[in-house]
Amino acid sequence: MTDIAAFDTKTFSAVDKYIVDKLVEHDHVLDDILKRSNEAGLPAINVSAAQGKMLYLLAKIQGARRILEVGTLAGYSAVWMARALPKDGKLVTLEFEEKHAAVARESLKNAGFEHCTELHVGPAAESMRKMIESKVAPFDMIFIDADKESYSDYFDLALKLARSGTQIISDNIVRSGEILDPNSPDPRGHGIRAFLDKVAACKTVESTGIQTAGSKGYDGFALSVVL
């Protein structure tokens, strides 16, 4: 029996590397996004390669034609998901920081997705409200990954941009176990707890939460499907 103390972040990263080396094909376009993101001084809070491929596979399983992402950063997860789209598919991604959006625009262009992606710069909740008002077609898959304090709002708005069968994936619901602490000084932890309360009370979705360990440490995601 392996000692539990062996399961530290070093082991998480080593196992993640082992898995990614085996199952996730090496990719210069995606590597280049992370390189440019780092050079531009953006935080390295993109999903991991293994998680990116999971988003890609979930989009494929769904047969997603319209994908919405809340929180673009450098476009790493956006490119993973866009790769699962059919020729006439579309990905809309929302980002608050113009500096991040500039890096992401280049990422989407380099990956060949300029024609099928829309990057809206501004507060994501505002962009979502505008899409609701203009009655855009529902999204098949929605990935929530922006500021944790607003996850509850994003979830409400996501439901208005969804249809029966839409999957909603929400990143960072564990935060190294911080979500267990109702007295955490970090508002992000409270944001996730409020979000999970909302999801739990929502009668129009079925949901679960999965803990993850890997190169991005100990975290997790929620998966919901709209009934």
**DSSP secondary structure letter of residue 70:** E
Q: Shortest distance, CB of residue 171 to ligand DHB, whole angstroms?
A: 5
Q: Does 153 bind ligand SAH (CB under 6 A)?
A: no
CA atoms within 13 A on the CB side of 20: 17
Could you tell me the CA-to-CA distances from 32 to 71, 83, 91, 130, 192 in Å, in that order? Answer: 19, 16, 20, 33, 31
Q: Does 149 bind ligand SAH (CB under 6 A)?
A: no
Q: Does 77 bind Mg ion (CB under 5 A)?
A: no
Query: Strand 167-171 to strand 217-226: parallel, antiparallel, or no bridges (unpaired)?
Result: antiparallel
Please tell me the distance from the alpha carbon of residue 175 to that of residue 84, in angstroms, as a whole number. 28
Nearer to Mg ion, 51 or 127 (CB): 51
Cα 225 from chain centre? 15
Q: Which stretch binds ligand SAH (CB under 6 A): 90-98, 131-139, 185-193, 217-225?
A: 90-98
- CA triple 128-130-135, angle to 5 deg: 95
Q: Which does 77 bind (CB under 5 to 8 A by kind): Mg ion, ligand DHB, ligand SAH, none?
A: ligand SAH
Hey, which residues between 16 and 35 contact ligand SAH (CB under 6 A)?
A: none
Q: Does 215 bind ligand DHB (CB under 6 A)?
A: no
Hey, which residues between 135 and 154 contact ligand DHB (CB under 6 A)?
A: 145
Is residue 56 within 8 A of residue 76, CB to CB? The reply is no
Which two three-digit tokens encode residue 109?
A: 């262009």
Q: Does 145 bind Mg ion (CB under 5 A)?
A: yes
Please tell me the distance from the alpha carbon of residue 98 to that of residue 81, in angstroms, as a whole number. 21
Nearer to Mg ion, 13 or 136 (CB): 13
Binding-site string for Mg ion from residue 160 to residue 199, where x marks contact by CB under 5 A and - marks none: -----------xx---------------------------
Q: Does 93 bind Mg ion (CB under 5 A)?
A: no
How many residues can be counted in the chain? 227
Write out the residues near ligand SAH by the rule CB under 6 A: 45-47, 71-73, 76-77, 94-97, 100, 123-124, 145-147, 150
Write out the residues near Mg ion by the rule CB under 5 A: 145, 171-172
